[in-house]
A and B are shown apart, each in its own frame.
Chain A
Amino acid sequence: MLNSRNKVKAALVLIPTVIVVFYFIWGFAVYTAFLSFTKSRFLPNHEIIGFDNYILLFANDRWWVAYSNMFIFGALYIGGCIILGALLAVLLDRLTKGETLFRTIFLYPMSLSLVVTGLAWQWILNPTSGIQQIVRTAGWDEFNFNWVASSDFAIYTIVFAALWNGTGLIMILFLAGIKSIDDEIWKAARIDQIPVWRIYFNIILPQLRTVLLTAVMLLGFQVVRSFDVVVALTNGGPGYASDVPARYVFEYFFQRSKIGQGAAAAVMMVMTMILIVLPYLYYEIRRKEI
């Protein structure tokens, strides 16, 4: 074979990554999935017990709280990021001066970890000293904003924090998309006397469908994995009112020593992600067929 010396070296270089991919990623994933069917508790146990873990999981009210929280949080977070991100991108696009300044302001939260984000918002939303207190001292004695401590509303606090952190990236994606649209379309639209906001709404944004879909998918994945911000802000509380699957898994693995159940929950997380990807794949396949 020609160039065999180089080709052999090239292949050897990839060996560590082969190990990473097959053992540390896919091997581990399959193993954990396997564990979801076993009697593992404190330590992995390879005795298979069929779907028992899943039955227990689905019978657990806690799990459903966590699972539904994921969707509530997800819908608000994704929707919020998209709408706010798109809005901010449009606003920035209209700017003639100061774009860099505003862009930095909207983007810097992205550089902060979700733990810092969660802790910061925990501080702000603290009932005794945070926003509730400010508004109360300003005169509205009855103002209630103790969502962090409320079973019903705790999950929404997570939305604020996550939005604050995640909008920046979405805004940048939209901004890049907007700027990549041909100038000529602008000129044509202006000549047709179409008002600016309509240009954005009816002409530009529809062209950003791919950006939109990518954004939704990425955000969706983030939602399924959100662990840091939940632990930092509410730690799933009060009680387990603001728990999410990612944290549930962790708790069952390491605090409750019920590895089998935790694994089942983890598998459910992956299943949900696959569900998210399906519409995207479907869209991609349809697009290529056309």
Chain B
Amino acid sequence: MIRRYTYKTALLYSALVVSALFFLAPIYVMLVASFKPLNEVRETSIIAFPQNWTIEPWLKAWSSACSSLDCMGIKPFFLATFEIAIPAMILAIFIGAMNGYVMAKWRAKWADVLFGLLLIGSFVPLQLFLIPLAVTLRELNIYGTTTGLILIHTIYGIPLTTMLFRNFYITLPNELVQAAVMDGAGFFKIFFSVILPLSPAIFIVAVILVFSGIYNDFLFALTFGDTSKRPIMAAVQNIVSSSYGIKEHNMNIAAVVIAALPTLLLFLVAGKFFVRGLMQGAVKG
């Protein structure tokens, strides 16, 4: 088929380019601001290219930006977030995988009911959990600790991981499990020898979605984060909104960009899994 460059094609591309500009503008503007020295940031327009490139805003953002408490930069919060996200993600995925295996391959009416309640429950606004969570965490003496946040993110990550794995394992033929049962394999042997080796794709999707969800979380971070070790979204919002004297916009912006990098990179590298996961999550019904 010969491609004809009609005016229609030109229209198509220009519409797309304009839209692309809308989508790219914010990140461009932020990057540009983060590399400008303070005087330039204040005096030139936000879309102007930096004249005196500097990475100082980035360095300051990392190690000396000020939150409402002290000026330690974003580094401690960045690390704290990973301290929370990684264990929670591993636990939520492990539990979700086993749940999915049971619900998909060892069917029982009550398990289906449980899944239904889980599914509906995942739509409940988190605000409804805040007070009882606070009470529970206080009782367990982990309010405001990293452990507390790990527990929270594990618990509220389980609905998502269970859904992902259950929906995936349902697509695996039941005869596989039946053959393994005939072969004399037990419950866990089947999971580790037959089911798990078939799961790499869904694991990647789960890692991406769960990690992003925990990393990008704000509500729990704000409510249950210890101020000196809060997760990054709460920290960066705090840094940007604390105003002591002169606001160092370029540093603040750099901090925001640093905060945005992990999930952005994750998306750029493994975007196709990201999309696949969101589609699976969205097409739940």
Contacts and interface: CB of A to CB of B under 8 A. Distances in A.
| Chains A and B directly touch (beta carbon < 8 Å) | yes
Interface of A: 3, 5-7, 9-11, 13-14, 16-18, 20-22, 24-29, 31-33, 35, 40, 44, 84, 88, 91-92, 94-96, 102, 104-117, 119-124, 129-131, 133-134, 137, 164, 169, 172-173, 176, 214-215, 218, 221, 224-225, 227-228, 231-232, 235, 246, 249-250, 253-254, 259, 262-263, 266, 269-270, 273, 284
A37 to B, nearest CB: 14
B114 A14 contact: yes
Contacts of B162: 17
B124 interface: yes
Nearest to A177: B283
Interface in B103-162: 103, 106, 108, 111, 114, 117-118, 121-133, 135, 155-156, 158-159, 162
A107 B95 contact: no
A31 B278 CA distance: 31
A25 B271 CA distance: 31
B90 to A, nearest CB: 14
A232 B237 contact: yes
Given A111-B267, A113-B263, A121-B26, A88 B19 contact: yes
Given A250-B219, A269-B127, 18 more contacts: A10-B187, A14-B114, A17-B162, A20-B158, A22-B117, A24-B129, A29-B124, A35-B131, A105-B24, A111-B266, A112-B260, A112-B264, A121-B26, A124-B26, A172-B279, A231-B218, A250-B223, A263-B131
B46 A123 contact: yes
A269 to B, nearest CB: 5
B259 interface: yes
| Among B3, B20, B237, B240, residue most surrounded by chain A Cβ atoms (within 10 Å) | B237
B128 A32 contact: yes
A147 to B, nearest CB: 16
Nearest to A3: B181
B12 interface: yes
A225 B111 CA distance: 29
Contacts of A221: 123
Contact of A134 (B45, B186, B241): B45
Give the 6 A-B residue pairs with the shortest CB-CB distance, closest first: A113-B216, A111-B267, A25-B121, A28-B132, A10-B106, A9-B187
Contacts of B127: 32, 225, 227, 246, 249-250, 253, 266, 269
A6 B29 CA distance: 58
Given A113-B215, A172-B279, A227-B219, A259 B155 contact: no
B241 to A, nearest CB: 7
Given A94-B12, A250-B219, A176 B279 contact: yes
Contacts of B133: 24, 28
B87 to A, nearest CB: 15
A104 B33 CA distance: 23
A115 B216 contact: yes
Given A32-B128, A105-B23, A116 B260 contact: yes
Contact of A224 (B125, B212, B256): B125
Given A32-B129, A116-B256, A133 B45 contact: yes
A50 to B, nearest CB: 19
B213 to A, nearest CB: 10
B12 A91 contact: yes
A122 to B, nearest CB: 8
B189 to A, nearest CB: 10
Given A21-B117, A232-B237, A106 B46 contact: no
B129 A102 contact: no
A119 B19 contact: no
Contacts of A218: 282
B161 to A, nearest CB: 10
Contacts of B159: 20, 25
A102 to B, nearest CB: 6
Contacts of A273: 123, 125
Contacts of A9: 186-188
Interface string B16-29: 10011011111101
B99 interface: yes
21 contacts: A6-B181, A10-B106, A14-B102, A21-B118, A21-B121, A24-B133, A27-B132, A33-B128, A104-B271, A106-B19, A108-B268, A109-B26, A111-B266, A113-B233, A123-B46, A123-B253, A130-B46, A214-B285, A218-B282, A253-B130, A269-B128
A29 B131 CA distance: 10
B98 interface: yes
B200 to A, nearest CB: 21
Given A17-B162, A270-B128, A273-B123, A120 B275 contact: no
Contacts of A130: 46
B75 interface: no
A104 B106 contact: no
B30 interface: yes
B264 A235 contact: no
B260 A113 contact: yes
Contact of B249 (A10, A123, A169, A284): A123
Interface string B42-80: 100111000000000000000000000000000000000
Nearest to B260: A116
